[in-house]
């Protein structure tokens, strides 16, 4: 359709469906060390990953990085920043020249049983071949006495289209961790 202000802002077309489910992985008995989404279709504008997750083992740190790479790139081509709340204080941090992203984090395996952290991860303009790729994440968990809520931003310093996403937390994924990949269309 053409908008009333079409002469000023141009025409726009109504998209039929804007948000598609692409793939899902749920971790089975025994857990797993890595989850990979590969052969990601290039027909969307943005990607979103929605997850509940927990590490298979604990490390005494309440939560850890949900270490992630694009297109199997393990070079020092990533950077990130975060703003988080621990339940008692707000804090911020970050770093450059990293070999992976953190996607906010993942609840570690020593926390209260049956609690799983959650992530909503947006990979923006992932198929564009002219700019570096930016990711924003909202991650959090609460275990009735401990918890974190985290805003995170990650950068992949590559102009390549994102065709695969690999997630490798330090202590593996616990059973029932589940990751769903969605594609968001532009008009």
Partner 1 sequence: MAAGSTYTPIATNTLSSAASSVTFSSISGAYTDLVVVCNAGVTASGGYTLAMQLNGDTGNNYSGTRLSGNGTTAASYRASNLNYYFAGLNMPDTLTTNVIFHLMNYSNTTTYKTALIRMNDVGVGTAAMACLWRNTAAITSINLSAEVGATTLLAGSTFTLYGIAAA
Which residues make up the interface to partner 1 (CB under 8 A)? 17-24, 39-41, 50-52, 83-90, 114-118, 120, 138-145, 147-151, 176, 178, 180-183
How many other C-beta atoms are found inside a 10 Å radius of the C-beta of residue 157? Answer: 14
CB closer to partner 1 out of 58 and 85: 85
The CA distances from residue 108 to 38, 60, 83, 97, in Å, are: 26, 8, 19, 25
C-alpha span between 82 and 94 (Å, rounded): 6
User: To the nearest whole angstrom, how small is the minimum distance from the Cβ of residue 54 to partner 1?
Assistant: 8
User: To the nearest whole angstrom, how small is the minimum distance from the Cβ of residue 9 to partner 1?
Assistant: 25
CB closer to partner 1 out of 138 and 170: 138
CB closer to partner 1 out of 80 and 140: 140
Token pair of 70 as six digits: 């694009």
User: To the nearest whole angstrom, how small is the minimum distance from the Cβ of residue 35 to partner 1?
Assistant: 14
């Amino acid at each position: 359709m053409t908008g009333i202000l079409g002469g000023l802002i141009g025409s726009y077309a109504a998209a039929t469906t804007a948000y598609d489910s692409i793939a899902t992985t749920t971790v089975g008995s025994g857990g797993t060390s890595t989850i990979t989404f590969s052969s990601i279709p290039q027909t969307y504008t943005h990607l979103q990953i929605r997850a509940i997750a927990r590490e298979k083992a604990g490390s005494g740190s309440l939560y850890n990085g949900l270490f992630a790479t694009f297109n199997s790139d393990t070079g020092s081509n990533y950077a990130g920043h975060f703003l988080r709340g621990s339940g008692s204080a707000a804090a911020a941090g970050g770093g450059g020249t990293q070999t992976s992203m953190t996607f906010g984090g993942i609840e570690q395996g020593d926390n209260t049983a049956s609690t799983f952290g959650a992530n909503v991860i947006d990979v923006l303009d992932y198929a564009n071949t002219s700019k570096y790729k930016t990711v924003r994440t909202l991650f959090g968990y609460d275990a009735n006495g401990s918890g974190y809520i985290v805003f995170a931003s990650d950068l992949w310093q590559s102009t390549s289209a994102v065709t695969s996403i690999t997630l490798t937390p330090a202590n593996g994924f616990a059973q029932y961790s589940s990751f769903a990949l969605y594609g968001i269309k532009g008009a």
